[in-house]
Amino acid sequence: MSQTAAKYVPPKTPVLSRFFSSIPVSVLIYLVVVGAIILSAYNGAQAMGYNWQWYQVPKYFYTMTDDGFQWGEIAIGLVKTVEISTLAFLLAVVLGLVVALLRLSGLLVGGALAVVFLEIVRNTPLLVLLYLFYYVLGPIFDLDRYVASILCLGVYHGAMVSEIFRAGINAVPVGQWEGAKSIGMSNSQVYRFIILPQSIRFMLPPLTGEAVNMIKSSAIVSVIAVAELTTIGRNIISDTYMSFEIWFTIAAVYLVVTLILSIGISFVERRYAVS
Amino acid sequence: MSTQPLMIDASNLDKFYGKFQALKNINFSVAQGERVVICGPSGSGKSTLIRCFNGLENHNAGKLVVDGIEVYEGSPEIRKLRQEVGMVFQQFNLFPHLTVLENLTIGPIRVRKKSKQEAEENARTYLERVHIPEQADKYPSQLSGGQQQRVAIARSLCMETRIMLFDEPTSALDPEMINEVLEVMVDLAESGGMTMVCVTHEMGFARKVADKMVFMDEGEIIETAPPERFFTAPETERCQEFLQQILVH
């Protein structure tokens, strides 16, 4: 019990680090960086003699004519993107659950099937997978471009989702299995009533990330000319040559959709955040 | 007791984890209504043995019959067996996403196919029996360890099993909560009828309720004796040493 031991001095954060992590300074730095990017892009465009036509953009969202209100091409493309992503995500969740359960089943054949599926899908580029679905499986099973896109995205993200499910299921302590089995529950009852409800909170954050990825990777189906957001953007540009305005707009639309999704899910997460 | 039929009958059980032999040639039986306490140093195989009785672990050799059902790996009757054999765990293993009442009724409703109303009435009766009727609508995490363990006991009681297995039910509890759980267990034991197998180091409890004491060490049953003889005149040296160590404090 020496005197020196009694004096406890809390470690100080270095002054510089405190200065840079304070909120006003952070915001300032952020604005400077973003401003610099925008300014340099603008200057570059000016140097090219680019003719900005932002006033043209709103009509691609909606138009008011004598015939009344009409949705524009970008709005229609956005609906298609959301539709494809939603359907593909549902497929991914179902597929992911099946693959995860197969992998965890302890059945030799089931586990092997799941691993083969995972490895093939994860080690194939999404673009190649899409060509496979559209140009190979398409003619064989008579799939149109729309169905082929949904299947391809569903399968690709299904592999990712299955790993999320597997991790979430494994994160539930083994004692929960034992408790549930000791009252005579069957495997499927244990999953349904005990394990899955508890793993949701482990799964929601990465699933949100996967949903955002899904919306972004849905842009790739523009290469087989499915009329979604990115395809629409390309079409407009080939008509008008407004590449800067349209690509900025399209990027912003994707950003808005994924942000809405993330924020929405964070509310759901709070609901499941029971300890 | 000898006239009662056997509820648990194990003969020549062996259990391996890889090369490590956790159970060595175990011969063990429990008659209906009998209360058996298993003790022994940690790593002696007590928990492994008791977990074999409801198929949470599977023995590798020998024969095990519980409540007339032969237990072995992959037995199709294992779920039927578990409905007759309740288990209370060291770590409670309550379902954290369900309220206390839901923890108690999920088995009766989903497994025994009782009506929700009947299951809830039953559950409230058993909550009274473990002295926490007022906690029915709370979540397990809102309860103390002692209360959680009593909920776990009530959960097993709600299944109205004929055998109850206790796997170190007080080992994870703070000292001041051990008694409230032991009281419930003594009450259960003294009300009779229930066959109980309990792995515990609570020798006061054992002395009070046990019909038979079993001492295990290194995967073997070293000594089996009625409690009077077990505590006053243990036959084997290992058992004497063990009792000295835990009774001294």
Q: What ipTM does this complex have?
A: 0.89
Residues A275, A199: one domain? no
Could you tell me if A253 and A206 lie in one domain?
Answer: no
Work out the average pLDDT over A130-136: 91
Residues A132 and A178 in one domain: yes
Tell me which residues of chain B, numbers 113 to 152, contact chain A at a CB-CB cutoff of 8 Å: 139, 141, 152
CA distance B139 to chain A (A): 9
Is 0.80 surpassed by the pTM of this model?
Answer: no
Residue B249 has pLDDT above 60, yes or no: no
Asked whether residue A183 falls in the same domain as residue A161, the answer is yes
**CA distances (Å), A164 to each of A104, A109, A160, A258, B17, in order?**
13, 21, 7, 19, 30
Range of the domain at A164: 84-215
Out of A183, A215, A247, a domain closes at A215
A161 & A206 share domain: yes
Select the residue from A182, A186, A189 to test the B interface by mutation, using most B Cβ atoms within 10 A. Answer: A182
B89 touching A (Cβ < 8 Å): yes
Do A274 and A156 fall into the same domain? no
What is the CB neighbour count within 10 angstroms for residue A105?
14
What is the residue whose two structure tokens read 């964070």? A266
Residue-level pLDDT at B248: 67
- Residues A234, A131, single domain; the answer is no
Residue in B with minimal Cα distance to A174: B93
Q: What does chain A come to in residues?
A: 275
pLDDT recorded at residue A1: 47
Q: How far apart are CA A202 and CA A200, in angstroms?
A: 5
Ordered by where they begin, the domains of chain B are: 6-84+162-248 (3.40.50.300), 95-160 (no CATH)
My answer on whether A205 and A267 are in the same domain is no
Reduced to 3 states (helix: H, G, I; strand: E, B; else coil), residue A17 is helix
A179: which chain B residues are within 8 Å (Cβ-Cβ)?
Answer: 89, 92-95, 152
Share of chain A above pLDDT 70, in %: 96
pLDDT per residue as tens digits for the range A167-177: 999 999 999 99
Please indicate, yes or no, whether residues A171 and A231 belong to a single structural domain of this protein.
Answer: no
Angle made by CA atoms B196, B201, B202, in degrees to the nearest 5:
75
Q: How far apart are CA B155 and CA B162, in angstroms?
A: 14
- pLDDT tens column, A49-86: 887 788 877 888 888 888 888 888 888 889 999 999 99
**Residue B61 has what pLDDT?**
92
User: Nearest-CA distance from B178 to chain A in Å?
Assistant: 21
Q: How far apart are CA A224 and CA A127, in angstroms?
A: 10
- Of chain B, the end-to-end C-alpha distance in Å amounts to 33
- pLDDT digits 0-9 by tens, B87-145: 999 999 999 999 999 999 999 999 999 999 999 999 999 999 999 999 999 999 999 99
A171 and A201 Cβ atoms separated by less than 8 Å: no
Alpha helices (runs of H) in B29-174, residue ranges in sequence order: 46-52, 78-82, 100-110, 116-129, 145-158
A178/B106 touch (CB, cutoff 8 Å), yes or no: no
Q: Does residue A60 sit within a domain? A: no
Pairing status of strand B35-39 against strand B195-199: parallel
Encode pLDDT of B44-90 as tens digits: 999 999 999 999 999 999 999 999 899 988 888 898 999 999 999 99
Q: Are residues A128 and A209 in the same domain?
A: yes
Whole-Å CA distances, B20 to B14, B23, B88, B215, B222:
11, 9, 26, 20, 19
Cα separation, B40 vs A53, whole angstroms: 85
Instruction: Dig out the tokens for A200 from the structure.
Output: 């949701």
Same-domain check for residues A91 and A211: yes
Domain count, chain A: 2
- Interchain pair A183, B94: CB under 8 A: no
Any domain includes A23 = no
Where a domain ends, among A215, A239, A256? Answer: A215
